[in-house]
Amino acid sequence: FEPRMVLIIDDMGYNLKRGEAALALPGAVTYSILPYTPYAKKFAVDAHDSGREVMLHVPMANTAAKALGPGALTPEMEREAVMSGLNQALDATPHVSGVNNHMGSQLTALPQQMSWLMEALQGHALYFVDSRTTPATRAGSMAALHAIPTLRRHVFLDNQRDTAAITRQFEKLL
C-alpha cells in the first residue's frame, strides 16, 4: 500500500487568533479540539464547514503533574465516570470523527481505563489516534481489542518550538 501522512493540529480551542490561523491552512488538515474551551464549538463548526476533519482532543492524566483542563480523564475515575465524561465532551463538540489524547502519559498506560474509553467510543463509530505520550501506552492494544479503528502518532512536529527544530521534524516525517 501507499504510505500516507495525516497532519493533526492539537490543542485547538483556547486562542482565537491562532485557531483562525490554523483553520486558514491549505490542504487536508485535521483539527483536534479541546472540549469546553472558549472557541471549541466555533472551531469545530468552521473546520467541518470547510471540509476538514474534526477530532476531540481529550485531556488525560499525565506523569508530569501538568494541569489537565476541563473534561479530563483521570485514573481515579470509575468506569461510568470515564464513559460519561467522554460522552459529555463529545456532545459538547460538534462534528467529531475521532478522538486523540491530550497529554495522557499516565492514563494511556492503564489498560482498564483505556478499555473503558474504547467501550465508550464503540457507541459512536469513532476512531482513536494515540498521541503516544509514553512508550508504555496501552491505547492502541485496547482499541484493537474493542474493534475501534486506530492510528498512532509517529512524529511530533513542534515538541521544540523553534523553526529549525520544526523543520527537522517535518523532514523526518516526510
**Per-residue tens of pLDDT for the chain, all 174 residues:** 677 889 999 999 999 999 999 999 999 999 999 999 999 999 999 999 999 999 999 999 999 999 999 999 999 999 999 999 999 999 999 999 999 999 999 999 999 999 999 999 998 999 999 999 999 999 999 999 999 999 999 999 988 989 999 999 999 998
The confidence score (pLDDT) of residue 34 equals: 98
The residue type of 158 is: D
Nearest to 22 by CA among 174, 157, 167: 157
Q: What are phi and psi of 59, to 5 degrees?
A: -65, 135
Which residue in this structure is represented by grid cell 481529550? Answer: 58
The confidence score (pLDDT) of residue 165 equals: 95
C-alpha cell, 145: 481489542
> Between vectors from CA 164 to CA 162 and to CA 167, what angle results, nearest 5°?
105
56 beta partners: 33, 99
95: left (phi over 0), alpha (psi -120 to 50) or beta: left
Handedness of CA 47, 49, 55, 56 (dihedral sign): positive
The confidence score (pLDDT) of residue 25 equals: 97
C-alpha cell, 136: 508504555
